[in-house]
């Protein structure tokens, strides 16, 4: 929990370098007379162009951590306004997918900048985001609850709690991993759109209608084409867990490592073509097409193209991926409360078995085959020799 203290660094300089920090909005009033002026007046054209460049680069390569050349050339105040312009613009865009992908990109850029900053700046940024970093040389100490909040969404094995040094209720980290945690804090802070007044939203939509259309075209979402690549499959008859995983990605949210593997393995075993499986991940905040194709190829090509079987129901329950009591994230209130009786049948052991029963009436036995995570020994199948992860991006 953050506590009040005097700033350790120059506040204006801090906001200029890290415009996502709480309170940075006050700097807008010093530079621009109003949000409307930022979007309307020709004098702010460089900041507007920089804001659009931020969004374009984020949609193309959210995990790259690169700053758009148009932004790098701006003066500090213009660079700050370009960030605010991009954030307001994405807050008016339809759906959450674009702003979540942009949040990943901005967090990566911030992480690279934080790697080069001094300890006082690192500590102040953490404090402004609500976390207290105790820095002692190369060691950073962080309260256990704060560590769990930031580390849980991170997939790298080095961040698992079992691998951490815990003493006196505080996790001890090296500086590199502390910066990675702050990167996650930035992503969390930027994930939700800014609340816009109806008049402001209307003005942005009117003046930026062309670019908002470009955002929609650059942000492919499976929800826009629910049956794409699935051929004769019946997505509406998928088991509740698979429907929940697809909805998570369609809403531009992160899906856990186990969930990403389970979804790809299920779709392949159910009969989806390769392109359809890849398309299912396009809503992920850090979707990378080349990496996703590589990983889907690995999951689907094993055992003479039969591929891995999706994890069993018991494994999905252990990973928090079971939705037999309803999908808590569903838009339909009835689906949130829906309890699927078939999922409670004793003979049901695997999501692909559910689909065979519901659609094809093929009895009560799941298909045998290599199961990867369902085997119980590890969270993922053995990766190819490149060492890259075997699940599509979160």
**CATH value at residue 90:** 1.20.930
Query: Domain check: are 93 and 110 in the same one?
Result: yes
pLDDT tens string 293-310: 889 999 998 878 888 999
Residues 116-124: contacts with CB under 8 Å, at least 24 apart:
120/8, 120/9, 121/8, 121/9, 121/14, 122/175, 122/178, 122/179, 122/182, 123/8, 124/7, 124/8, 124/9, 124/14
- What are the DSSP calls for 333-380, one per residue? HHHHH---GGGG-TT---HHHHHIIIII---S-PPPS--GGGGSS-SS
Contact 332, 244 (CB under 8 A): no
- Give the CA distances from residue 146 to residues 100, 127, 380, in Å, rounded to whole numbers and listed in that order: 22, 12, 27
Cα diameter, the chain: 69
Query: Domain check: are 261 and 351 in the same one?
Result: yes
What local confidence, expressed as pLDDT, does residue 320 receive? 86
Q: Model's pTM, two decimal places? A: 0.71
Query: Domain check: are 210 and 75 in the same one?
Result: yes
Contacts (Cβ under 8 Å, ≥6 apart) of 388: 291, 294, 295
Q: Give the Cα separation of 36 and 207 in Å (integer).
A: 10
Give a yes or no: residue 386 inside a domain.
no
Last residue of a domain, one of 215, 230, 251: 215
Give a yes or no: residue 394 inside a domain.
no
Three-state DSSP at 240 gives helix
Query: Domain check: are 41 and 81 in the same one?
Result: yes
Give a yes or no: residue 2 inside a domain.
no
Q: Among residues 65, 249, 291, 257, which one has the least CA distance to residue 155?
A: 257
Give a yes or no: residue 76 inside a domain.
yes
Asked whether the CA dihedral 109, 110, 111, 116 is positive or negative, the reply is positive
What local confidence, expressed as pLDDT, does residue 338 receive? 78
- Looking only at the bridges linking them, the beta strands covering 134-136 and 170-174 are unpaired
Give a yes or no: residue 389 inside a domain.
no
Q: Residue 178, Cβ neighbours under 10 Å: how many? A: 26
Contact 250, 223 (CB under 8 A): yes
Query: Domain check: are 200 and 242 in the same one?
Result: no
pLDDT tens string 97-106: 899 889 999 9
Query: Domain check: are 241 and 303 in the same one?
Result: yes
Instruction: Give residue 339's pLDDT band: very low, low, confident or very high (50, 70, 90).
Output: confident
What local confidence, expressed as pLDDT, does residue 383 receive? 30
Give a yes or no: residue 391 inside a domain.
no
pLDDT tops 80 at residue 370: no
**Mean pLDDT, residues 198-213 taken together:** 91
Percent composition of the chain: helix, strand, coil (DSSP 3-state, to 5): 55, 5, 40
Contact 58, 90 (CB under 8 A): no
What average pLDDT does the chain have? 82
Last residue of a domain, one of 215, 250, 283: 215
Q: Give the Cα separation of 82 and 86 in Å (integer).
A: 6
Query: Domain check: are 167 and 231 in the same one?
Result: no
Residue range(s) defining the domain that contains residue 41: 11-215
Q: 98-135: string of b/e by CB count within 10 Å (b at 16+)? A: bbbbbbbbbbbbbbebbeebeeebbbbbbbbbebbbeb
Query: Domain check: are 170 and 275 in the same one?
Result: no
H or E element in which residue 193 lies: none
pLDDT tops 90 at residue 150: yes
What local confidence, expressed as pLDDT, does residue 226 receive? 45
**Mean pLDDT, residues 5-18 taken together:** 72
pLDDT tops 50 at residue 222: no
Sheet holding 139-143, edge to edge: 134-136, 139-143, 170-174, 165-167
- What are the DSSP calls for 76-110, one per residue? HHHHHHHHHHHHHHHHTSSSSHHHHHHHHHHHHHH
How many domains in the chain?
2
Query: Domain check: are 211 and 225 in the same one?
Result: no
Give a yes or no: residue 335 inside a domain.
yes
In degrees, rounded to 5, the angle at the alpha carbon of residue 41 between the alpha carbons of residues 37 and 42 is 155
Query: Domain check: are 118 and 143 in the same one?
Result: yes
Query: Domain check: are 249 and 179 in the same one?
Result: no
* For helices 257-270 and 240-250, angle between their N-to-C axes, nearest 10 degrees: 120
Query: Domain check: are 205 and 228 in the same one?
Result: no
Last residue of a domain, one of 188, 215, 242: 215
Give a yes or no: residue 186 inside a domain.
yes
């Amino acid at each position: 929990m953050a506590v009040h203290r005097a700033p350790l660094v120059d506040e204006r300089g801090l906001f200029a370098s890290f415009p996502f920090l709480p309170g940075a909005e006050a700097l807008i009033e010093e530079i621009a007379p109003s949000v409307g002026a930022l979007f309307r007046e020709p004098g702010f054209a460089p900041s507007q162009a920089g804001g659009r460049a931020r969004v374009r680069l984020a949609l193309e390569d959210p995990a790259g951590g690169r700053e758009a050349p148009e932004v790098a050339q701006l003066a500090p105040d213009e660079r700050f306004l370009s960030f605010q312009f991009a954030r307001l613009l994405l807050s008016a865009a339809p759906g959450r997918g674009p702003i979540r992908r942009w949040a990943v990109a901005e967090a990566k850029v911030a992480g690279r900048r934080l790697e080069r900053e001094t300890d006082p700046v690192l500590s102040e940024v953490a404090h402004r985001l609500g976390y207290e970093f105790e820095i002692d040389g190369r060691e950073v100490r962080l309260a256990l609850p704060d560590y769990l909040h930031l580390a849980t969404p991170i997939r790298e094995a080095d961040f698992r709690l079992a691998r951490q040094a815990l003493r006196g209720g505080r996790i001890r980290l090296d500086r590199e991993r502390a910066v990675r945690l702050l990167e996650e804090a930035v992503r969390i802070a930027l994930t939700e759109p800014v609340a816009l007044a109806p008049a402001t939203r209307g003005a942005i939509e009117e003046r930026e209608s062309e670019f908002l259309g470009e955002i929609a075209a650059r942000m492919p979402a499976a929800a826009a084409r629910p049956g794409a690549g699935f051929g004769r499959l019946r997505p509406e008859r998928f088991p509740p867990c698979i429907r929940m995983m697809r909805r998570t990605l369609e809403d531009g949210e992160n899906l856990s490592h186990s969930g990403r593997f389970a979804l790809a393995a299920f779709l392949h075993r159910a009969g989806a073509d390769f392109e359809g499986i890849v398309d299912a991940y396009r809503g992920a905040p850090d979707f990378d097409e080349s990496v996703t194709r590589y990983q889907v190829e690995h999951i689907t090509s094993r055992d003479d193209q039969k591929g891995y079987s999706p994890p069993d129901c018991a494994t999905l329950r252990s990973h928090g991926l079971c939705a037999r009591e309803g999908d808590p994230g569903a838009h339909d209130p009835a689906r949130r409360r829906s309890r699927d009786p078939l999922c409670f049948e004793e003979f049901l052991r695997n999501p692909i078995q559910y689909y065979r029963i519901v659609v094809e009436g093929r009895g009560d036995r799941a298909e045998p085959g290599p199961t990867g995570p369902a085997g119980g020994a590890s969270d993922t199948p053995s990766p190819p020799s490149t060492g890259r992860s075997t699940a599509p991006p979160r």
